[in-house]
Amino acid sequence: MTTVSEQHIAANSLAEDSPRAALLTRLLDPEQVVMFDGAMGTMLYARGVFINQCYDELVLRSPDLVREVHAAYVKAGAEVVETNTFGANRTKLAQYGLEGQVVAINQRAAQVAREAAGEARLVAGAVGPLGVRLEPYGPTSRDEARGLFREQMQALASGGADCFVLETFADLDELEQAVLAAREVNAAMPVIAQATVGPELRTAFGATPEDVARVLDKWGVDVIGLNCSVGPQTILEAIERMAAVTHKKLSAQPNAGMPRDVGGRTMYMASPEYMASYARHLIQAGAKIIGGCCGTTPEHVKAMVEGVRPLSPRTRVQVGATREAEVSGEPDKSREPVPLAQRSRFGAKLAAGQFVTSVEIVPPRGVDTVKLEHDAAALAKAGVDAINVPDGPRAQSRMGAIATSLIIERHGIEAVTHYACRDRNLLGMLSDLLGASALGLRNLLLVTGDPPKMGPYPDATAVFDIDAIGLTNLVRNLNRGMDPGNNPIGDPTRFVIGVGVNPVAIDPAHELKRFHWKVEAGAEYAITQPVFDPAQLESFLESIHDVRIPVVAGIWPLVSARNAEFLANEVPGVTVPQEILDRMRRANEKSKEHALAEGIAIAREALDRVRGSVQGVQVSAPFGKIEYALEVFG
């Protein structure tokens, strides 16, 4: 049985192992980020083409000029280029006396775009509104509209377009006819349908983003999106609302800010950096196809490409060392990573399949490190393999995890440094990680981080340039000697890449999906949230058998019934079964000492139960009491 993506590849007569076929598959994958180009009209105007001319006809009169614009976007990193045919339908061309050139213009536009895109990029046949009103508000019938769209799309398909992008539609009735026409031309050809909304988040006909998403979902388009009219901030809000009502892949192509009149000229003021920051926000909100509309230039697209590169790990195709580079169309400059066993003692045990032990110690609140150093020395003496160092857990203000880890490693025991995306932008994270590597830190646990509202400073700003998946991809690249922009950094870093996972997540399907993405991004081991129900952990381990990496189970020795209730009700991601809560309450009724002994007994039982299923344990030290953690080991 063929998949949808295989049908699309077959419909486009592409070899299944070709770069275009791989990119077409990514275009349809709901979780893969794909970058479109920016404005065509903006660039043609900047090159001296007056607005009283027919821009669509330039593919016949000045094909080199159009090709140069496409090539500039390809060089900037766009993976899909749109044909210069936004207004190339019969009704709009009639305004210039060119209605007899519909086929010639659209065919040639697709060919010119292909000449610039080559075989490593896709060509999207751009189709805009007809410029006339449909019944019952105008003279054009729905059948007539569908015929006009079909005429244009047939020419785009015959010219070599890989997909259709229906864009800047305000009338959903008209957009429906364009969708129907696309399916009539080629039922297997991907269709990206994009409406346009104003600053009040409605189309000119009053449809909300939710209305747009629901109706396009019902019509069965491949990608649902928004473009033009407004800047990235408004588009972001609309995408957030659309993501709540559809599971379809979403696209966003905002203008470079709202247009402003400057000296009689319409200008778009959003900088490339601003567009890049919103591209990241759009991806985090759910949009996976990103590009630009009016005012967007190759400089904007280049900044967006560099900004979002770490956000979406691509599936690695293990067919030769350069296969991934071939798919992306870029030369492979990466180096082979240092073998896991040679990066750290912790990594060596993981690579050898040996059981690892670790204890979690929260960094100090101030600058006094006497207790931290005493505990590190004691754990090293006890033979524990590593100390886990959280990074601002629960959005608390504490000493940084990197500095804390360096202090710990003075005492002959390795640290597992948790590193969160919450507090730093992409540049800051890159700087931190390069510095940590140079200072000798090797073991990382990459996490997204708790939101500031959880902590004592709820007005603090969270950055979240990337999440844990993107950060994993970033560190994997560093281990191959490459920065986020695919530039060599010299000697590769030697990090052991760990990620978090929650076996008892509220949405297990989503957690499982994210775990798969983390493994694809380069995760080499995982540490779970505290496990109080070993059966749930065992069930989770069974569900990841196809992407199994070493799993270290989190164990938390409870110290009281109150401690158990706090974890159950106030710590995100932690589940304490009712049976455990009841055991702690009964023990607490006897005495505090009984409750502590019961909590440690529960932790030992969990350790004994999971020992044969996992490759290690991380035992927490509640309230900084490492003696409780050591008692769990027995």
User: Residues annotated in the binding site for Zn(2+), as ranges?
Assistant: 228, 293-294
How far is 209 from 232, CA to CA, in rounded Å?
14
Output the six-digit token pair for 402: 């990197």
How far lies 263's CA from each of 230, 231, 301, 352, in Å?
A: 21, 21, 26, 69
The set of residues, in sequence order, having a beta carbon less than 8 Å from that of 318 and lying 6+ positions away, is: none
**Helices 232-243 + 209-219 axis angle, to 10:** 60
Output the six-digit token pair for 250: 């979403």
Helix or strand holding residue 417 (H, E): strand 414-420
How far is 323 from 307, CA to CA, in rounded Å?
23
Are residues 371 and 408 in contact, defined by beta-carbon separation less than 8 angstroms? no
How far lies 393's CA from each of 70, 400, 456, in Å?
A: 47, 11, 12
Closest C-alpha among 134, 217, 209 to residue 171: 134
Are residues 91 and 148 in contact, defined by beta-carbon separation less than 8 angstroms? yes
Are residues 499 and 524 in contact, defined by beta-carbon separation less than 8 angstroms? no
Are residues 55 and 109 in contact, defined by beta-carbon separation less than 8 angstroms? no
The set of residues, in sequence order, having a beta carbon less than 8 Å from that of 414 and lying 6+ positions away, is: 344, 345, 346, 385, 386, 387, 442, 443
How far is 559 from 596, CA to CA, in rounded Å?
4
Residue 549 has phi, psi (to 5 degrees) of -120, 165
Q: What is the full DSSP assignment across 281-304?
A: HHHHHTEEEE---TT--HHHHHHH
How far is 325 from 366, CA to CA, in rounded Å?
47
Q: What is the full DSSP assignment across 526-555?
A: EEEEE-S-HHHHHHHHHHTGGG---EEEEE
Helix or strand holding residue 226 (H, E): strand 223-227
Are residues 511 and 469 in contact, defined by beta-carbon separation less than 8 angstroms? no
Peptide bond before 136: cis, by omega within 30 degrees of 0?
yes
Are residues 132 and 111 in contact, defined by beta-carbon separation less than 8 angstroms? no
Which amino acid, residue 385? D
How far is 561 from 351, CA to CA, in rounded Å?
39
Closest C-alpha among 281, 209, 203 to residue 244: 209
Can you state the percent helix, strand and coil of the chain, rounding each to 5? 45, 15, 40
